[in-house]
Amino acid sequence: MSPIESPTEESRWTQFTAILILVSAALRILALAFNPLELYADETQYWVWSREFDWGYYSKPPMIAWLIAVSTSLFGDTDFAVRLPAPLLNIATLSFLFLAARRLWNARTGFWVALTFTTIPAVWMSNAVMSTDTPMMAAWAAAFYCLVALRTKASWGHAVGLGVAIGLGMLAKYAMIYFVVGTGLSLVLDAPARRALLSLKGVVAAVLGTLILLPNLLWNAAHDFATVSHTAANANWGGNLFHPAELFDFLSGQLGVFGPALFVILIGVLYRTLRQRKSVHPDALLLSLFILPPLLTVSVQAFISRAHANWAVSAYLAGSLLVVFFLLQGPRWRRSVLWGSIAAHSVSMIALMVIASVPSWTVAAGLSNSTKGVRAWQETADRISQAAQADDYTYIVFDNRNVFHQVQRYGNQPEDTVKMWLRFPGATNHAEQGWPLPEQFTGDILIVSQRSWQEPMFQGDFARIEQIGDISIALDGNKTRDFTLWRASGHQRVERTSELLELWASYDVAYMNRPR
């Protein structure tokens, strides 16, 4: 049990936490200002969305686009402004985690929770890029603080805050559903939460959360549930449904998301909590209810199909609270693990970010493959533009959504001159949905592709097609970004039958299995 603090001690630790949060945010904003890395393709796609307000987008709910729209409107349409919401949202995440820990235990524990969370590898990375995880984590932390407050003192303000935070979290990323699952489990297994939520205040929170999400649900209904369908497609539950290697990769990846020592400690504490449920501290059980749903669900998903390491990142908000609570008590070695993890994470992630910012250091460290997606997009767009200006092309056509969106961001072509070739019967991403190559047009087009083996596929769609050159962009080390260029005309899109798609898939397999 954490000791009760005097008002002076509580005030001092609260001040320490405020300084920590503000200094951390200031340093990360400064690092963003001098960050030479261009946007990742996903960030560029979110920027594309931000140019037109909507209640949903092809593959994600709308919050990230709204945040980028506000930031670029206020601070200019720069890569810095696209990413600026990330460290600002982290201020909210750390503040609410501190408040939750202070209400559960004391301000000293809250300080160490804030310091631990801001230094875990996943959070270091989330401050350098704009992803859907960042606003979702801020909403999660706010919702959890409100829930903890409701458990101890039923307040209308906290009830409203809980509903608003859950609704906004769902508009940020559907993984916020894990918080809803955890809340449902707390109704069954945590008596204080049950008393707080099975009341008019709990009903108000549920109604508010639903009302905030409702416009996105209606948008999905009006768009054939595009976002929901994409989320289901990401699960990829076709074919062989047993992948122990994928499960191993996911679990080992968590060592890099939360930190090696902290993840091992977390698993041990979870095991002890579940095994000794009736004798452990009730707060430990409550936190476990919010950690296990994402960890177990994504582990099952990895075993069935595949899973990215960050898909369970929401587990580590409650995970940080639980691990720090455990490590601040008992034998001295626990504090050594905590302080050592904070130091190791900080040193290694700062070193990694510095190395990534200097191309020669990136090459020396063998990290060229990790930075190839954020280098030389301006040069790439310029070279493609030069190739397009060499002749009178009606459209510049791409077959890769990532390249397409990067050219939208860094190129200078008019919006209506860049199009997507559709390999499948219908659109499979936002680029194909918004900018498909028209069925009918006059003149020649320039096809720009990194997939030279797709030429037989293109041949079926055009009366005339000829290869006219290539583009090679130097990246870090010996890495290059290579494109093949074709001139084509006479669009006659062949029907995408199952037999044709299987044939085209065989081309992909043959290319992947080619001698190297």
pLDDT at 21: 95
End-to-end Cα, the chain, rounded Å: 60
What the block records as the tokens of 252 is 């080992």
pLDDT at 309: 84
Q: What is the mean pLDDT of residues 358-376?
A: 84
pLDDT beyond 90 at 241: no
Residue, of 176 and 307, whose pLDDT is higher: 176
- Among 122, 457, 469, smallest CA distance to 317 is for 122
Q: What is the mean pLDDT of residues 381-402?
A: 94
Q: What is the mean pLDDT of residues 199-205?
A: 94
Sheet (strand 418-420) strand order: 418-420, 393-398, 444-449, 480-491, 462-474
Q: Give the percent of the chain with pLDDT over 70.
A: 95
Q: Over the range 440-451, which residues count as b (16 or more CB within 10 Å of their CB) and which as e? A: eeeebbbbbbeb
Per residue in 298-330, pLDDT (tens digit) is 999 888 877 888 889 999 999 999 999 999 999
pLDDT beyond 80 at 3: no
Per residue in 418-458, pLDDT (tens digit) is 999 999 998 889 999 999 999 999 999 999 999 999 999 99
pLDDT at 274: 86
Q: What is the mean pLDDT of residues 226-233?
A: 62
> In whole angstroms, what is the distance from residue 357 CA to residue 509 CA?
35
Residue 154's pLDDT band (cuts 50, 70, 90)? confident
DSSP letter at 399 equals S
pLDDT beyond 80 at 43: yes
481 DSSP β-pair partners: 473
Residue 1's pLDDT band (cuts 50, 70, 90)? very low
Q: What is the mean pLDDT of residues 260-267?
A: 95
* Mean per-residue pLDDT of the chain: 91
Residue boundaries of the structural domains of the chain: 7-357, 373-512
What the block records as the tokens of 403 is 């390249």
Per residue in 108-143, pLDDT (tens digit) is 999 999 999 999 999 988 888 999 999 999 999 999
Q: What is the dihedral of CA 128, 130, 131, 133, to 10 degrees?
A: 70
- Among 459, 485, 482, smallest CA distance to 472 is for 482
What the block records as the tokens of 126 is 């989330």
pLDDT at 372: 86
- The amino acid at residue 109 is T
* φ, ψ of residue 491 in degrees (nearest 5): -65, 125
- Among 389, 403, 366, smallest CA distance to 481 is for 403
> In whole angstroms, what is the distance from residue 295 CA to residue 287 CA?
13
pLDDT at 127: 84
pLDDT at 12: 93
Q: Give the percent of the chain with pLDDT over 90.
A: 72
> In whole angstroms, what is the distance from residue 164 CA to residue 159 CA?
9
pLDDT at 23: 94
pLDDT at 237: 56
> In whole angstroms, what is the distance from residue 494 CA to residue 79 CA?
40
pLDDT at 126: 85
pLDDT at 363: 84
* φ, ψ of residue 49 in degrees (nearest 5): -60, -40
